[in-house]
Amino acid sequence: MYIIAYFYVVTAVYEDPAGESEYSNEVSASPRTVRERATLWTAISDHGVYGHADFQYSSCEWPGGSQNHYLWEGRFWAGAIVGGEDCVSHADYGNYEFYPLTGPGTEQYHLMGVDRFDLGVTFTDTYDIIGHSPLGLKVFQRALMWPQSYPEYDDCVVLEVSLMNEGSRDYEDFFAAWIFDADVCQSDVTHPHMDDLVDFDGWDGPDSKTDELPDVSPGLPYNRGDIVDPFDWDGDGNTGYDEWGVPYGDPDNPSYDESLIEPDGFPDEYTLLLDAAKGQRIAFMHPDVGDSIVVYGFAVPRNMSYIYDGDHQTTPENDFQERDQKPLPCDGYIGGRLVYTPSRLPAPGAYYNYSGPEYALSDSLMMPYCHSWWNWESDPGSDTEKLEYMDGRHVAMKGKRYMVNPHHPDFNAPVFDYRWLESTGPFDFNVGDTLKFVYVVAVGRGLQGARENLDNALYAYYQGSTDSDPYHPSDFDSDTHWAIEETGVEDDKPGGERAAGYTLYQNYPNPFNAYTDIRYEIPDGRLPLHTTLSIYNILGQKVRTLVDELQEAGHYFVTWDGRDRSGNSVSSGIYFCHMQAGADVLTKTMVLLR
């Protein structure tokens, strides 16, 4: 999916063969094309890894181009008990057991959200790796994103997974899982990962009361079942969220204010999708309206695991979300949601599906089998530990299939470096079978933003569907899905040929004081080209050449320290970053403020 727009690049040429700069009247103008970009950028690999641990590519970079990464590394796991032994095929801190079909040593990462919005990869666990017992799995994964002309959907990445049993054994109690080691976030200059917290939004049975209607009595800070009114049903202008997207009723919020808690009669950890055409009648009592709210749509558990920046205990101030940090706070919440799984799990008790005028009971629902977390001091090393976190047997879970916030008295754990796991299963997975899943990862401002972005993803999944909806789920091959409309640009977009693919990103920060980072990309499928990256002042004089070499396809960045070729600091003013790769020329304007 590419959105093409014309603009003109005007390049003034002032360079003589000796490399010195003089005034010139020679000006060339040529039409260029530019692709729209998503707000979230991230790498997707061809071996079951999401993001890039060394940040050579974006790793849930939000907003895109800021170099503010929210993810260290995400992974896909699959496992079962085989012959009495726990066996898990996984990607884990460089110990990878999934590889592309071309074999170990050929792994690649692909940047999504900049020049790609739809990517398919295939990987397998069948290679002979020391210590690995292959399960005979083959995975086809399609990653989807949307550009900023789809503003409701440009903060997420969709993972459609087809998991095939091409081995020689049938499996019982088979599980699949997504693990995200999120660090919130790179702009946190002191503790980008050591002051995080992790939580779960959705139905969790008896493991907590946070998904239940409400008890917001003093002394019960963790029973936060209904403390926001996201639709502002009573029209008082208060949704229960502060300006940072965090509920006023969250005891960790520096803006905690019990008087601004805003219940609406609907559980906060459920998604309410309004759909007058296809939805069912939903009724709930709003405490401030004095009557039932009646709408048509779908109400389902959110199924969201998420990580966010907490208050580091070594700082005197409450640095939750690093709100005072410049230029960027850590206000994003990163979350993952299981949008589709063939698993239907018994609900041990009442489940509000809101399918009628009163609350109805359901004996099954689509949800993760487990939400679990651990920190960097307790990473599961063996297949047994991994599978125990996937199927809920691990002793650290303390009997809970849905582990609550580390601050909960049941765990009493501090802010730290956490990972979340969401699993689905158990499945009978026989030779020749295929299991299909949809998992979505998003970043949004505060809990409000993460919830909205992942709710929008569920809504988008069923757009265009004729035979399925959130109450009657279907996999991505069984109905039309993702048929959403573009809303962020004019309909009469000019057409044109696709760009050559060379991309020069806006420097960051801009304006800058001492240093600024410049990133650019040479697309795949190109022969090595001579690439130059130079800085010019407003008079057209070359200040410095940062790159002058033959370069292959890839993603590059270079830092300019505000000095000229002689090492002298240049004065404040407007400068131009000029990139030339072969015959293609790109220019960005930069502002230096001393």
Residue of 366, 301, 341, 310 lying closest to 178 (CA atoms): 341
Share of the chain above pLDDT 90, in %: 52
Residue 284 — left, alpha, or beta (φ > 0 → left; ψ -120 to 50 → alpha)?
beta
- CA dist., res. 173 & res. 171, Å (int): 7
* 137 contacts 89 by C-beta, under 8 angstroms: yes
Residue 323 has pLDDT above 50, yes or no: yes
Q: What average pLDDT does the structure give for the chain?
A: 83
- Residue 559: helix, strand or coil by DSSP? strand
pLDDT at 14: 40
Peptide bond into 342 cis (omega under 30): no
580 confidence band (pLDDT: 50, 70, 90)? confident
pLDDT at 363: 44
Sign, CA dihedral 396-401-406-409, equals negative
Residue 429 has pLDDT above 50, yes or no: yes
More confident call, 291 vs 305: 305
Contacts 24+ apart (CB under 8 A), 220-225: 221/251, 222/404, 222/405, 222/407, 222/408, 222/409, 224/249, 224/250, 224/268, 225/267, 225/268, 225/269
* 225 contacts 268 by C-beta, under 8 angstroms: yes
pLDDT at 239: 94
Name the β-bridge partners of 198: 307
pLDDT at 486: 66
| Mean pLDDT on 93-117 | 90
Return the ∠ at Cα 262 (arms to 259 and 268), rounded to 5°: 135
pLDDT at 354: 38
Q: Which of these ranges, 61-75, 98-112, 377-391, 571-585, has the smallest mean pLDDT?
A: 571-585
Strands (E), 166-241: 171-182, 196-201
Residue 351 has pLDDT above 60, yes or no: no
377 confidence band (pLDDT: 50, 70, 90)? very high
| Mean pLDDT on 380-384 | 93
pLDDT at 365: 67
| Mean pLDDT on 217-241 | 76
- CA dist., res. 309 & res. 313, Å (int): 12
* 264 contacts 232 by C-beta, under 8 angstroms: no
Look at the block and give the residue holding tokens 């008087």. 259
Residue 163 — left, alpha, or beta (φ > 0 → left; ψ -120 to 50 → alpha)?
beta
Q: Which of these ranges, 274-278, 410-414, 498-502, 513-517, has the smallest mean pLDDT?
A: 498-502
Max Cα–Cα distance, the chain, nearest Å: 82
Which residues 6+ apart lie within 8 Å of 391 measured at CB? 173, 175, 369, 370, 423, 425, 426
Identify the CATH class of 75-210+299-488.
mainly beta
- CA dist., res. 2 & res. 37, Å (int): 9
| Mean pLDDT on 6-13 | 38
Strands 42-45 vs 27-35: parallel, antiparallel or unpaired: unpaired
Domain ranges of the chain: 4-36+496-592, 75-210+299-488
Look at the block and give the residue holding tokens 């299909």. 436
Residue 65 has pLDDT above 90, yes or no: no
- Residue 510: helix, strand or coil by DSSP? coil
- CA dist., res. 165 & res. 474, Å (int): 20
pLDDT tens profile 28-49: 433 333 446 899 999 999 999 9
* 262 contacts 237 by C-beta, under 8 angstroms: no
- CA dist., res. 350 & res. 28, Å (int): 70
- CA dist., res. 68 & res. 66, Å (int): 5
Residue 24 has pLDDT above 50, yes or no: no
Q: Amino acid identity, residue 262? A: E
356 confidence band (pLDDT: 50, 70, 90)? very low
Dig out the tokens for 403 from the structure: 């582990």
- CA dist., res. 222 & res. 371, Å (int): 17
More confident call, 242 vs 572: 242
Residue 18 has pLDDT above 80, yes or no: no
Name the β-bridge partners of 307: 198, 334
Residue 493 has pLDDT above 90, yes or no: no
pLDDT at 487: 56
pLDDT at 303: 92
pLDDT at 502: 76
More confident call, 246 vs 356: 246
More confident call, 512 vs 112: 112
Look at the block and give the residue holding tokens 């000019």. 494
Residue 170 has pLDDT above 70, yes or no: yes
- CA dist., res. 244 & res. 578, Å (int): 37
Stated as kind and residue range, the H or E segment containing 447 is helix 446-461
Residue of 146, 139, 141 lying closest to 116 (CA atoms): 146
Backbone angles phi, psi at 213, to 5 degrees: -75, 155
CATH architecture of 4-36+496-592: Sandwich (2.60)
pLDDT at 346: 55
Residue 6 has pLDDT above 70, yes or no: no
**How far is CA 301 from its chain centroid?**
19
pLDDT at 214: 53
567 confidence band (pLDDT: 50, 70, 90)? very high
385 confidence band (pLDDT: 50, 70, 90)? very high
Residue 449 has pLDDT above 80, yes or no: yes
26 confidence band (pLDDT: 50, 70, 90)? very low
* 587 contacts 576 by C-beta, under 8 angstroms: yes
pLDDT at 433: 97
> Buried (b) or exposed (e) across 395-431, using 16+ Cβ within 10 A?
ebbeebbbbbbbbbebbebebbbbbbbbbbbbbebee
Which residues 6+ apart lie within 8 Å of 42 measured at CB? 50, 51, 57, 58, 59, 60, 61, 71, 111, 112, 113, 157, 441
